[in-house]
Amino acid sequence: MARTSSPEGALRTTDAEETRLNILDVATAEFADKGLSGARIDEIAERTNASKRMIYYYFGGKEGLYRAVLERAYTAVREMDADNLRDHLEPDAALRDVVGATFDYHNQHPEFVRLVMNENILRGAHVGEIPGIRERNRKVVEHLRGILARGVTNRQFREGIDPVELHMTISALCFYNVSNRYTFSYGFERDMSSPKALARRRMSVIDVIESWCRR
């Protein structure tokens, strides 16, 4: 990618790079907000420093832009993993950490959740082409497998829990209260966006997972 000739050299990104990122930011918000078919590239272009012409210039079109957005969102998750999949001494503490971090990440990145929701509406039409997702999932599962194994040796955890099932359970619990906040909680007064309710939910999720794994 071309660089400016400014004295900062390679450390400084070009204007073009900044434009790309700006477009990606706006597009992420827009796609997360309305989905692929609901988003309008004219609208994205307007909110951008750049023009519609530039979107086509850089990303080729709506689909290309969408894929770039999805890819970057998944990349961010992987970076989060890298920070949080450290090994702890105690299996139960490690498990709590994974669950808590996953819960927090989903809550702090609803746009990621919404992109994934949309991708599922599209039956995963694009997610397959994004490199790194397989590895990401595999890595998480392997991490959980390790925790479970150490927990069993430790006699903290019971035997027979499948790490894939565990991964799925954790994901489901962390995903749902973000993805379904608008349809859930009709009928009983509980605003899932209140910090108090959120904290309680967080505790519950950790508790559910722990109760399941503990012997």
Position 118 contacts a copy of itself (CB under 8 A)? yes
Using CB under 8 A as the binding rule, whether residue 57 contacts a copy of itself is answered as no
For a copy of itself, which residue of 8, 134, 153, 191 counts as binding (CB under 8 A)?
134
CB 24 → a copy of itself: shortest distance, Å?
20
Q: Which residue has the tokens 């309305």?
A: 34
Q: Least separation, in Å, of the C-beta of 43 and a copy of itself?
A: 13
Mark out the alpha helices in the chain (DSSP H runs).
15-38, 41-47, 52-59, 62-84, 91-108, 110-121, 133-154, 163-179, 195-213
Nearest-approach distance from CB 128 to DNA, in angstroms: 20
**Could you tell me which residues are beta bridge partners of residue 157?**
214
Q: Which of 162, 191, 193, 194 binds a copy of itself (CB under 8 A)?
A: 162
Q: Does 21 bind a copy of itself (CB under 8 A)?
A: no
Other residues' Cβ atoms within 10 Å of the Cβ of residue 2: 7
**Contact with a copy of itself (CB under 8 A) among 26, 65, 173, 206:** 173
Terminal CA-to-CA distance of the chain, rounded, Å?
Answer: 54
Instruction: Work out the number of other CB atoms within 10 angstroms of the CB of residue 84.
Output: 16
What residue ranges bind DNA (CB under 7 A)? Answer: 2, 4-5, 14-16, 19, 39-42, 50-54, 56-57, 61-63
